[in-house]
Structure 1
């Protein structure tokens, strides 16, 4: 069994204003979350889309850059927010990668590896995307109970 220090992940979210929160990771990194008002902060839903994109991008880049560094690399993640019998959720989730590699042998090898690397991030590697795809129960608790 894996040591919990190797598997455990957490962040702390602290209210800093009206419909605004600060997320802090264990390394001291911070990002800000808004409630969708006029502030520029990402909403929780946008953070989920960004997390899927970033996780997939990191996987694909790690595989393809062994052959050639991408000249450009953009990932767009989108979906439709709906409310139905299941409550609020996203449908039609799509991850689109737009990657350009240089001409030459290394670029050719990276282009050849790209479809397989996208399949690997979708099917096995991207923890965020895999969690969304396979689902995971969430245990909601009140502190002290």
Structure 2
């Protein structure tokens, strides 16, 4: 792999049960394992799955018309079984509306195809989850 294919984030512990992820551009996202308002890692996974397809669908449809409403809901069941803890029944639901008129009609017509194309080919996040990519963990001294 070359440097242009590598993606990375750094995660720093900021307090008990609290962490900050920083990307190479300096963006930061706080998350945690406690019951506060921070996202949990599982919620970040759901957000990444939905967000990836949302971006693809938004780009494809907003070329024709700006949406008047755009909501993506991602759900799943967290289970523990013989395979360990994991998510099942992942579902991404789009609720999108466009103004009446020719441009809105085009955007409405494109939306299902844009969502399907993202899911089937473009969204790196959901493609990685569905295909199943091994994850390695190491501890450095």
Runs of 4+ off more than 6 Å: none
Tell me the secondary structure at the aligned position of residue 143 of structure 1: coil
CA distance, structure 2, for counterparts of residue 114 and residue 103 of structure 1: 15
Tell me the secondary structure at the aligned position of residue 141 of structure 1: coil
After superposition, the C-alpha distances for 1:110-138 in whole angstroms (9 at most, x for unaligned) are 01111101110110011111111101001
CA distance, structure 2, for counterparts of residue 78 and residue 143 of structure 1: 35
After superposition, the C-alpha distances for 1:12-53 in whole angstroms (9 at most, x for unaligned) are 000010111111000011111110x23211000000001111
CA distance, structure 2, for counterparts of residue 85 and residue 76 of structure 1: 28
| 1:13 match | 11
| Structure 2 unaligned spans of 5+ | none
| 1:142 match | 139
Correspondent of 1:75 among 62, 69, 72: 72
| 1:113 match | 110
- How many residue pairs match? The answer is 141
RMSD: 1.0
CA distance, structure 2, for counterparts of residue 118 and residue 55 of structure 1: 10
Instruction: State the TM-score, normalized to the length of structure 1.
Output: 0.94
Which residues in structure 2 correspond to 1:18-37 (within 5 Å)?
18-35=16-33, 37=34
CA distance, structure 1, for counterparts of residue 40 and residue 74 of structure 2: 14
Which residues in structure 2 correspond to 1:38-57 (within 5 Å)?
38-57=35-54
